[in-house]
A and B are shown apart, each in its own frame.
Chain A
Amino acid sequence: MNLFETTALRAASATSDSIPAVWARENIFAMTQDAEQAVLRPRDFGAFPHSFRAALAARIARLAGDGVLAEHYLEGAGDHEKIADPAVTGEAQGKRHVLTFVDKVAQDPRHVAAEDIEKLKAAGVSDADIVRLCELVAFLAYQIRVVSGLRLMQGQAR
């Protein structure tokens, strides 16, 4: 994939002219794209299929006010599109415990405590799936901030 076709640079509308410094970190943007693949579309997806992950990613992007990234992820959300809306609690989908956790880790990680993990376990989420969920939310926190930083470098308003 061309450097400027990676999600982070595309979402920030970055070009070779607007941020030439990205060439010095081409490897980092390539690895960032590999990480997106690993958390959004892993071979071993555990309890969270690719379309569900895409919907969660769109939800997290919306929570952060990033409409461009939200649109990018929504394309893969399929039948799970509803949960990409932060107003949806997940009750009707039987995913309230997952969405409550995702929203807290995305927006208020400071106050996440042992009991939040215990609630997931009590709802039957496996240890491996808890780690998978954290990696997804954590990666999005990174990618969203890379994109917003690149926009600021170019003097773009949000």
Chain B
Amino acid sequence: MTRVLHKFTRSVPQWRPRVTPVRLEDATQEQLAALQVTPSNTKVSDYVLTLAHDVESLAVRSPLFNAIMYDEGGMSRAERELGALGPSIVNRCIYCAAVHADRHAKLEGDTSVTDALFARGEKATLSPRDQAIFNFAFKSAKAPSEATAEDMQALRAAGLSEEEILDLILSSALFGWANRLMHVLGDPVREGVE
């Protein structure tokens, strides 16, 4: 039996599309290129096959996503994951939250931050630096106008450099995008009973 998940978890679920994904055997050359399908790599997720319906967007979004989350310099990998978690919690994207909470916990070697966020959401108490990062990401995800000069001041007071603040703006905004694909176009599901 397959259940749709409604609660946050670090255990990454499966993703079931609400539209029919592109069939790999029907994919055009342009789609295959964007899917990065090669003879040695033929495994493509339903999520990416779904996005292949709009191949021009997919082709530009994948490298952009990787640059924002993984390029060197600026904010740490774990803090960019925290930037991703703010919107994923606001937008209740269970799948995105699971993937990025799991990465955060593994990068930090510690589950306490994501445990607190999943248990208490915006009311969670974090270290001053994590709190400033999460608050900014959470508020700007709710509505851009919710994040204020005080939130920006809190980031600087917590010791973030201008480069790190820019990376936070980019990583949290990126999940305004990712959540609206993942949470809107499919359901997070798990096989079997709890």
Which A residues have a C-beta under 8 Å from some C-beta of B?
A: 19-22, 24-25, 27-28, 31-32, 34-35, 37-39, 42-44, 46, 64-66, 105, 109-110, 112, 114, 116-118, 121, 127-128, 130-132, 134-135, 137-139, 141-150, 152-153, 155, 157-158
Contact = CB atoms under 8 A, between A and B. Distances in A.
Interface residues of B, number: 56
27 contacts: A28-B64, A28-B170, A35-B64, A38-B57, A43-B56, A65-B144, A109-B179, A109-B184, A110-B183, A121-B19, A127-B53, A130-B53, A132-B53, A134-B185, A135-B57, A138-B178, A138-B181, A145-B141, A145-B169, A146-B170, A146-B173, A149-B147, A149-B169, A152-B147, A153-B152, A153-B166, A155-B152
A150 B167 CA distance: 11
Contact of B166 (A19, A37, A147): A19
Q: Chain B at the A interface: mostly helix, strand, loop or mixed?
A: helix
Contacts of A21: 74, 161-163, 165-166
Interface string B15-39: 0001110000000000000000000
A142 B173 contact: yes
A118 to B, nearest CB: 8
Interface centre among B53, B68, B92, B140 (most CB of A within 10 A): B53
